[in-house]
Amino acid sequence: MARVVVDPVTRIEGHLRIEAVVEGGKITDAYSSGTMVRGFEKILKGRDPRDAWAFVERACGVCTTVHALASVRAVEDAIKISVPANAELVRNIMFCTQYVHDHVVHFYHLHALDWVDVVSALTADPVATSDLAKSLSNWAKTSPGYFSDLQKRLKSFVESGQLGIFANGYWGHPAYKLPKEVNLIGVAHYLEALEWQKEIVKIHAIFGGKNPHPNYLVGGVPCSFNLEEVNAINTEKLNYVGKLIKDAMNFVEQVYIPDLMAIAGFYKDWAGIGGGLKNYLVYGDLPTKGYAYPEHFKFPRGAILNRDLSKVYDVNGKDENEIKEYISHSWYQYSVGDGVGLHPWKGETEFNFTGPKPPFEQLNVEGKYSWLKTPRWRENPMEVGPLARLLVGYARGNQEIKEVVDGALSQLAVPIDALFSTLGRTAARGIETRLAARWLKEFYDELIGNLKKGEMNTFTREKWEPETWAAECEGVGLSEAPRGALAHWIRIKDRKIDNYQLVVPSTWNASPRDGNGMRSAYEEALIGTPVAKDGEPLEIIRTIHSFDPCLACAVHLYDPDGKTLHQVTVE
């Protein structure tokens, strides 16, 4: 038996540490710890609620925009306004843009190196690679010369002896299964995706002024339309957005999806690994008839328990019996006692660090061991993210979602149960990217239609001045970040923020276990994950990356007495 510590877990956002117990070549227990805290909730107290979006947007620069959206919705819910149709459409376009960007970057730049062996690509045959690439899609860059030039560049990079981001990778690890030619295609598209990703976010720059961290606005969106003015969103800017959407659809359909399917075909064993929790939670998003009507969201709202797709439970963010946060294993204290769960409207954020003083080698996992709280839905641990969204949509009988899910399953010749896995999570992200790209076009066309009808409004003015608000009010903003269910709760008193709480996707997935010893999603998904090679946590990061963590994490190896090893001893 060995204690494996991975810290930092790289190719994620934030600071995450995983400690895992390995027995007989498999993980038998795991602990997930968030090791950084900033205290947003304390900083927001007393501020102007209309400013909150900008503060909370800085919770994450990778899934930029999502917190801003949840925030403006929370405030709009509290002061009781809805936004004009055009504002909803611009928000939806920015939302889908974020999905397409974030999922492509995750696949190629944060996750691919778990599956693609860069060193193996050095000896691929460029002609065979070209033939294979042409068989996968109609993408233009598939000539033998293209792959040959790329390989030469890669060789000279490796032979320089300075491996940069590829240094100390797990190259040659037995868990890498791709043919050399697929690896070379993977490297080529890593670079192409890196160059392309800076284009798609220009949609954010057009509507929101910049990316990362574009601008949002309580009551609508800050940009204005004017088809007779160079100084507003006009035909030229709309054409630009249209072109970027077209390119995005091409990239997703011609590069991302073919690569995903090709790679997944060689890793079907990972459809039986990393399933973890059996419960899934989705708030839903992409309103088509306004945020007040979740039954018309593109991503349906709901919860699934015990993988029973025949029943979807309704979810209500305002019901104080549904969502509660616990701190039994979190470095906080509650005024009402640490064993109690609090609904976010009554949430508290008081630090209480009881862990070992750094530098340390091992956390005390019997006590508090993370800066993340532990959220529960009706006392159940829940997985959130692309897989949860597709499952709830599928179980709700949503035709668009059923079509893409069934198409992928049939292409891979696997049953729907294959989705409950590390591979399923990674595939789900790609599958929903196809939808996000299509919906981008749909929302764009609808926006053009509105403008054609002369509908220009992007902002609701009536409740802009705080004097028009109730002296005390409260709201919740529910959304679906790329990584999963995201919600912000706000209490406003005397026109200032009285309490603000965020429960983010990685809180659901990466949190420590609860007071009853029930593990959250990361910890549960690692159970049973194989560890083939001493000292190399490739399989661990594969499963952890399948969640697309929004934390930075780390792995170290420990022996049963808690002493740090730099080798995992596998019995």
Partner 1 sequence: MEKIVPTIRQAMDAKGYSRRDFMLFCGLATAAAGLELTGLTQVIQAFETKPRPPVVWLHFQECTCCSESFIRSSHPIVADVIFDTLSLDYTETLQAASGFQAEKTRDDCLKNNKGKYILLVEGSIPTGGDGAFCMIGGKSSEQILKEAADGAAAIIAWGSCASNGCIQAAKPNPTTATPIHKIINKPVINVPGCPPIAEVMTAVVTHVLLFGKIPELDSQGRPKEFYSRRVHDTCYRRPYYDAGLFVESFDDEAARKGYCLYKMGCKGPTTYNACSVTKWNGNLSYPIQSGHGCIGCSESGFWDNGPFYKQMESFPGFGIESTADTIGAVATVATIGGVAVHAIGSAIRKRKVIQENMDESVNLHPSIPPPAPDKSVTEMHETNGGDENGKSSS
Best CA proximity match to 251, nearest among 290, 198, 300: 198
Q: Examine the residue annotation and report whether 96 is marked as an active-site residue of this protein.
A: no
Q: Which is nearer to partner 1, 212 or 515 (CB)?
A: 212
Is 532 near partner 1 (CB under 8 A)? no
Both tokens of 334, joined, read 């509650």
- Of the residues 2, 3, 13, 475, which one makes contact with partner 1 according to CB under 8 A: 13
Interface with partner 1 (CB under 8 A), residue from 137, 211, 279, 501 = 211
Q: For residue 17, what are the β-bridge partners?
A: 33
Rule CB under 8 A: is residue 176 a binding residue for partner 1?
A: no
Q: Please, what is the Cα angle at 400 between 282 and 313, to 5 degrees?
A: 30
Confirm or reject binding of residue 217 to partner 1 (CB under 8 A): yes
381 vs 537 by CB, closer to partner 1: 537
Q: Please identify, using beta-carbon distances, which residue of 503 and 557 lies nearer to partner 1.
A: 557
User: Which residue(s) pair with 3 in the sheet?
Assistant: 21, 558
Q: Which of 28, 148, 224, 254 binds partner 1 (CB under 8 A)?
A: 224
Active site includes 330? Answer: no
Least distance (Å) between residue 310 CB and partner 1: 39
Region of 43-51, 133-141, 298-306, 336-344 interacting with partner 1 (CB under 8 A): 43-51
Smallest gap from Cβ 361 to partner 1, in A, equals 6
Structure tokens at 407: 């198409």
Query: Can residue 160 be called a binding residue for partner 1 (CB under 8 A)?
Result: yes
Catalytically annotated residue among 60, 96, 223, 473: 60
- Of the listed pieces 335-343, 434-442, 470-478, 551-559, which binds partner 1 according to CB under 8 A? 551-559
Of 521, 448, 439, the C-alpha closest to 99 is: 439
Among 2, 3, 15, 510, binds partner 1 (CB under 8 A): 15
Contacts of 500 (CB under 8 A, 6+ apart): 40, 41, 44, 45, 52, 56, 488, 489, 490, 491
Per CB under 8 A, the segment of 11-19, 22-30, 397-405, 415-423 that binds partner 1 is 11-19
Rounded to whole angstroms, the Cα distance separating 547 from 520 reads 12
Query: Smallest distance, Å, CB 245 to partner 1?
Result: 15
**Interaction of residue 209 with partner 1, rule CB under 8 A:** yes
Would you give the end-to-end CA distance of the chain in angstroms?
Answer: 6
Q: Is 548 among the residues that bind partner 1 (CB under 8 A)? A: no
Bridge partners (DSSP) of residue 502 are: 488
Question: Based on the number of CB atoms within 10 Å of its own CB, is 180 exposed (0-12), middle (13-18) or buried (19 or more)?
Answer: middle
- 550 given a catalytic annotation: yes
The residue within the footprint of partner 1, chosen from 337, 359, 415, 517 (CB under 8 A), is 359
Closest contact distance (angstroms) between CB of 369 and partner 1 is 12
Is the bond preceding residue 359 a cis peptide, omega within 30 degrees? yes
State the DSSP string of 464-530: -SGGGS-SEEEEEEEEEETTEEEEEEEEEETTEEEEEEEE-HHHHHHPPP-TT----HHHHHHTT-B
Task: Give the residue with the Cβ less far from partner 1, 112 or 408.
Answer: 112
Interface residue with partner 1, options 1, 24, 165, 397 (CB under 8 A): 165
SS3 472: strand
Give ∠ CA 103-106-112 in degrees, rounded to 5: 125
How is residue 178 written in tokens?
């791709």
Q: Which two tokens stand for residue 232?
A: 């507003």
Residues of span 275-294 touching partner 1 by CB under 8 A: none
- Name the active-site residue from 33, 71, 328, 506: 506
- Determine the length of the chain: 571
Residue 239 beta carbon to partner 1: minimum distance, rounded to whole angstroms: 13
Distance, C-alpha 181 to centroid of its chain:
29
Q: Pull the structure tokens for residue 99.
A: 């999905």
> Is position 492 an interface residue for partner 1 (rule: CB under 8 A)?
no
Is 307 one of the catalytic residues?
Answer: no
173 assigned to active site: no
The rounded distance, in Å, linking the Cα atoms of 532 and 120 is 19
Candidate list 483, 488, 495, 542, residue with the active-site label: 483
The one among 123, 135, 149, 229 contacting partner 1 by CB under 8 A: 229
Structure tokens at 13: 């956002």
Residue 359 in tokens: 């530098």
380 lines the binding site for partner 1 (CB under 8 A)? no
SS3 380: strand
Residues 181-200 that bind partner 1 (CB under 8 A): 191, 194-195, 197-198
Longest dimension (CA), the chain: 73
Spell out, one character per residue from 316 to 335, where the chain touches partner 1: x when CB under 8 A holds, - when not: ---------------x----
Cα angle 185, 190, 193; round to 5: 115
Specify the residue for token string 């027995």.
23
From 213, 429, 491, 533, residue interacting with partner 1 (rule: CB under 8 A): 213
Any bridge partners for residue 488, and if so which? 477, 502
Using CB under 8 A as the binding rule, whether residue 164 contacts partner 1 is answered as yes
Indicate the residue among 47 and 307 with the shorter CB distance to partner 1.
47
Residue 8 within binding range of partner 1, rule CB under 8 A: yes
358 binds partner 1 (CB under 8 A): yes
**Catalytic annotation on 67?**
yes
223 noted as active-site residue: no
Least distance (Å) from partner 1 to the CB of residue 330? 13
Cα-based distances in Å from 117 to 109, 250, 258: 13, 26, 18
Please give the backbone phi and psi of residue 229, each rounded to the nearest 5 degrees, phi first: -145, 135
> Does the protein bind partner 1 through residue 6 (CB under 8 A)?
yes
* Interaction of residue 339 with partner 1, rule CB under 8 A: no
Residue 116 token pair: 């693609």
Q: Annotated catalytic, 13?
A: yes
146: contact with partner 1 by CB under 8 A? no
* Count of residues interacting with partner 1 (CB under 8 A): 111
Q: Does residue number 231 form part of the binding site for partner 1 (CB under 8 A)?
A: yes
Binding to partner 1 in span 427-456, by CB under 8 A: 456
Q: Does 170 bind partner 1 (CB under 8 A)?
A: yes
Single-letter residue type at 155: K
**Phi, psi for 45 (deg, rounded to 5):** -60, 130
- CA 543, distance to chain mean position in Å, is 14
Which candidate, 267, 189, 191, places its Cα nearest to that of 427? 267
Task: Give the residue with the Cβ less far from partner 1, 84 or 126.
Answer: 84
**Binding residue (CB under 8 A) for partner 1 from 172, 174, 293, 351:** 351
Q: Give the catalytic positions in this structure.
A: 13, 60, 63, 67, 483, 506, 550, 553
